[in-house]
Amino acid sequence: GRRVSREPCKQTQAVTSYSNEGTQVTVEVHPKDSAPQLFKKLSFGKGPQRLPSLTGQDNKGFQRTEAPRPPGGKDLHAYPWDKSSLKSMPVDLQQFEKLDAYALKVNVKNSVEELVKALLKQARTDLEKVRAIWMWICHHIEYDVVGYHNKSQLSSRPIDVLQTGKSICEGYAGLFEQMCSIAGIQCMKLSGYSKGYGYKMGQTFTGDSDHAWNAVYLDGRWHLLDSTWGSGAVDDSFTKFTFRYNEFYFLTHPALFINNHFPDNSNWQLLKPTVTLKDFESNMLHNSNFYMLGLLTAHPETAVIRTVNGKASVSVDCRSATLFTFKLKGTDEHGLMTLKKHSMKLDVYPQKTGSHKLQIFAKPSKASDDVYKCVLEYVVECESVDKAMRFPKDLHQPVGPSWFTERQGFLRPSHPDPVIHTNDGRCSVTFTLGKDISVLASLHCDNSSLTEDMRRRHIMQIHRGNQIELKIHLPHAGNFVLKIYAKKKSDPGNYDYIFNYLITCLNTEVKWPAFPQSYSKWVEDYEILEPLSGLLPANRNVQFKLKMHGIAKVLVQAENAYPLTQSRGCWEGTCNTSGCREVFVMVHENANHSFYSHVLKYEVESQ
């Protein structure tokens, strides 16, 4: 009995996430209602095997159960899991609320029979009887840390477990079996291997079994449950038990139960086909959080992933929109995570060879708190490093558009993928915008000398109706982050970060100047057709063509002033750049006004 089962990776850690408003928050992750320390779930060693005799005066008035039948064809469930239900039979937890509350209050310690009698007062069906027994044990029997370390002080006899209120898995399962027997319900105590405390990914199992649990017979079929793991968790130093009820282990679907319970007798897997020990050892450990959060499957299904050309990929399918984060060796820098409505995809590029721990965390999109729970743990074996996939430090996960950005009003993206590759250093991204949204975008790059102002001036916004186009001209080759912020136009407050893209350009010839600087009188749906470059050649005639409406006159002010003429919705004309360092575009908003407003400013190359 070496193993106490664990819920892996609940350590405190900072995780960056985005609330529904798109604001960035950093949260500490620890288990609900606990101090920030690692908790583990339990499975325990064996104690003495003796069970007290069930004959005797106390049993009067209780029906006796006939000898349990072994599991057969009608007990079996298909493997792998069909994604239908987390339970092996239909269970409406709301209907149990009254019964659960009653069972928690029952306080009988003098005999197991008296306890069962008290619990059954509110239970009619066999399912309700099993539920009442389950709830009572999960909330009243604690894991015996002292007894685990000192077996001589440990008894797993049901009456001793009841009176001391503590035990190890053997005692939980024995008490459960006896209480069911008294209640007239067939129940078996099962033993086997578990992926519990001290379990290491990919390890092999040999020797004696290390855990005990139960099967109960309800509605003509066998079902599985584990009251030890339903009751709570032990801390990392294995000195303190904390009650933390876990619904997952009540009548768990056998195709999910096999994930961390491997019975000595394979018939008690209740599966068709049965899983081999070799498969049990290599299969991914999904903890109960994984399924309780509505996640369905994860690929790969093995715990160890080898990189191919420096990259390892993981994907998760989920029932509903879910937020994810990850940590590769404690940081989320070396990956690209993308979210879809019913899935998450993650590519990681470790920047060192060797073994790396990869943890994936999740929370429901509607969760009010910002606690991400660990749902998966892998080991990534990296044989070679892809240096080209070194991401800028400003890149935030997830990358690219998702169901989350849709909720924020960015619809029908022209680039659904997280990475935009450009050969000539130019690209453009378009969206349909929801109502009343004002957008801000900026370009970020490691070791780049871009000032705050220039980060924005390498992006030009073009609005056509409810469509927005972001035209991007890169200042040089490299990996860039395009960050997109938004706010309601009617809202005077700050812009909230919404999402980002990665833009890559390998062409070292690329060197685009910024777009011209625009002033507040430059209206959202104006458009520059030419010149797009904010840097004009010296001593040249430059052609201007601007799409603007609702104004009386347009002037281009260089050394001299050059009026533009209007034709078909555009203002056009030529200006000569000799003798000046700056060129301004000015507009007369109203024929009666005597003054012009500046709308654009261009620089002129030095001679």
How distant, in Å, are the alpha carbons of 403, 405, 409, 412 from that of 416? 11, 11, 15, 8
167: part of which helix (H) or strand (E)?
A: strand 166-167
Take residue 382 and report the two structure tokens written for it.
Answer: 């990296």
The answer to whether 174 and 156 have CB atoms below 8 angstroms apart is yes
556-559 long-range contacts, CB within 8 A, separation 24+: 556/583, 556/584, 556/585, 556/586, 557/583, 557/584, 557/585, 557/586, 558/583, 558/604
Residue of 211, 223, 356, 458 marked active site: 211
Judging by beta carbons within 10 Å of its beta carbon (0-12, 13-18, 19+), is residue 37 exposed, middle or buried? middle
Cα 210 from Cα 195, distance rounded (Å): 9
User: Which token pair is 414?
Assistant: 């022209």
- Catalytic residue status for 219: no
Strands 597-604 and 142-143: unpaired
Q: Is residue 487 within 8 Å of residue 494, measured between CB atoms?
A: yes
Catalytic one of 210, 226, 347, 496: 226
Q: What is the DSSP string of 15-63?
A: EEEE-TT--EEEEE---TTS-SS-EEE------------S-SGGGTT-P
What's the rounded Cα separation, in Å, for the pair 93 and 76? 24
Q: How far is CA 157 from the centre of its chain?
A: 43
How far, in Å, CA of 596 to CA of 136, rounded? Answer: 82
Specify the DSSP class assigned to residue 396.
Answer: -
- Say how far apart CA 443 and CA 459 lie, in whole Å: 8
Q: How far apart are CA 571 and CA 544, in angstroms?
A: 8
Q: Is 169 a catalytic residue?
A: yes
Among the listed residues 169, 180, 382, 505, the single catalytic one is: 169
Alpha-carbon gap, residue 42 to 521, rounded angstroms:
67
Kindly report the number of other CB atoms within 10 A of residue 244's CB atom.
17
Using only C-alpha atoms, the chain has a radius of gyration, in whole angstroms, of: 33
Distance CA(540)–CA(533), nearest Å, equals 14
Decide if 211 is catalytic. yes
Q: Which residue numbers are catalytic?
A: 169, 211, 226
